[in-house]
Amino acid sequence: LRLKQRMLDEKRREALRKLLDIKGNIRVFCRIRPYLHAEKRRTSEPISSKSEKIMVKLGGRKKDFEFDKTFPQESSQESVFVEVEPILKSAIDGYNVCILAYGQTGTGKTFTMDGTKERPGIIPRALEELFRLASLDNSSSLTFSMSMLEVYMGNLRDLLAPRSSIRTYESMTKCNLNIQTDAKGMVEIEGLSEVEILDYSRARWWYNKGKRVRSTSWTNVNEASSRSHCLTRITIFRRGGALEAKREISKLWMVDLGGSERLLKTGATGLTLDEGRAINLSLSALADVIAALKKKKRGHVPYRNSKLTQILKDSLGDGSKVLMLVHISPFEQDVCETICSLSFARRARAIESNKEVPME
């Protein structure tokens, strides 16, 4: 047990070193989903990983994709969180932080972000870690608040709203949340509930409440939750002295993005097709924003093209840190989708160093 602890400590130090090393503000990790109990493992695996590389076999050819970190199938939730932890420290230090889970439906985005009771994911672990960091802070002046919202077909839904009337799928369009940007470029979502979280157990209570609101309203809408984005925001405040008012120092966004699968493959029709289009539009808007932010001579950044990018505007650009976790399937039948996800992620990462990577 002590050896395991020592190895984790070493990994933590290494992750922190790497975070300090990054030149741009975006890091991209890739996680391969393991086979589940009922699933048959093939003798020849189409996807494999080695340190920072993902290798994909397709029709006798092999493609390599390089990332800041890769997580093979057997990776634990703990080993993923060790690599994410340093970015939480950055949030406490005043950077706006954005952690995004990207990938095809079923590849483990929710598992990574939320996890299970026995194997908690990034969000519950991050909540615990923030309170630990606050307790270590000499001045003990850090406080946190939480908001949760869902973006579905361009509509915003407040998951922590006090009234049940705006929690259902049907009433989403009636829920008026306005996205505003102030003179300093800070984003404000007018009307969005924000609850003060005083300790970890209360933070978990609110988080579970938001999750419940999200899942109960989707039960009749054929798994539509995979075609919506779920965003959890922690706002961090600091008070300078006993008599001073608290001031916001940063925001931490943890985002479980909608499934990135292409519409042709899913054979979608009707509402599913519209939902898929909305997701594809907002994900490509996200890709466009990241690309524009990384250009050497920065021009127009197209934030306004989707609600998702409007919301995240002040947490994607300068003075912020972005961590994208790309999720891929281990299955042969998903290889084309996997290559799309890997290409999307590689573009986001490669543009950082001004190396143009062609579209696949």
Rule CB under 6 A: choose which of 29, 67, 111, 206 binds ligand ADP. Answer: 111
Closer residue to ligand ADP in complex, CB, 38/242: 38
Residue 109 near ligand ADP by CB under 6 A: yes
Encoding tokens for residue 182?
A: 């102030």
Does 46 contact ligand ADP by CB under 6 A? no
Report how far residue 353's alpha carbon sits from residue 203's, in angstroms, rounded to the nearest whole number. 38
- Does 125 bind ligand ADP (CB under 6 A)? Our answer is no
- Report, in Å, the least distance between residue 32 CB and ligand ADP: 8
Residue 268 phi, psi dihedral angles, 5° rounding: -70, 145
46 or 103: whose CB is closer to ligand ADP? Answer: 103
Residue 108 interacting with ligand ADP (CB under 6 A): yes
The dihedrals phi and psi of 213, each to the nearest 5 degrees, come to -60, -40
- Out of 70, 90, 96, 110, point to the residue binding ligand ADP (CB under 6 A): 110
- Count of residues engaged in binding ligand ADP, rule: CB under 6 A: 13
The 3-state secondary structure of 153-215, one letter per residue? CCEEEECCCCCHHHCCCCCHHHCCCEEEECCCCCEEEECCCCEEECCHHHHHHHHHHHHHHHH
Listed residue (16, 72, 61) closest to 328, CA to CA: 72
> Quick one: 116 or 201, whose CB is closer to ligand ADP?
116
Q: Does 34 bind ligand ADP (CB under 6 A)?
A: yes
The residue from 3, 20, 36, 243 that contacts ligand ADP (CB under 6 A) is: 36
Q: Measure the CA–CA gap between 325 and 100, rounded to whole angstroms.
A: 6
Of 107 and 217, the one with the shorter C-beta distance to ligand ADP is: 107
By the rule CB under 6 A, 226 interacts with ligand ADP: yes
Minimal CB distance to ligand ADP: which residue? 108
Beta bridge partners of 57: 62
Question: How far apart are alpha carbons 3 and 42 in whole angstroms?
Answer: 34
Does 106 participate in binding ligand ADP (rule CB under 6 A)? yes
Q: What is the dihedral of CA 187, 131, 31, 148, to 10 degrees?
A: -40
Site residues (CB under 6 A) for ligand ADP? 33-34, 36, 103, 105-111, 226, 327
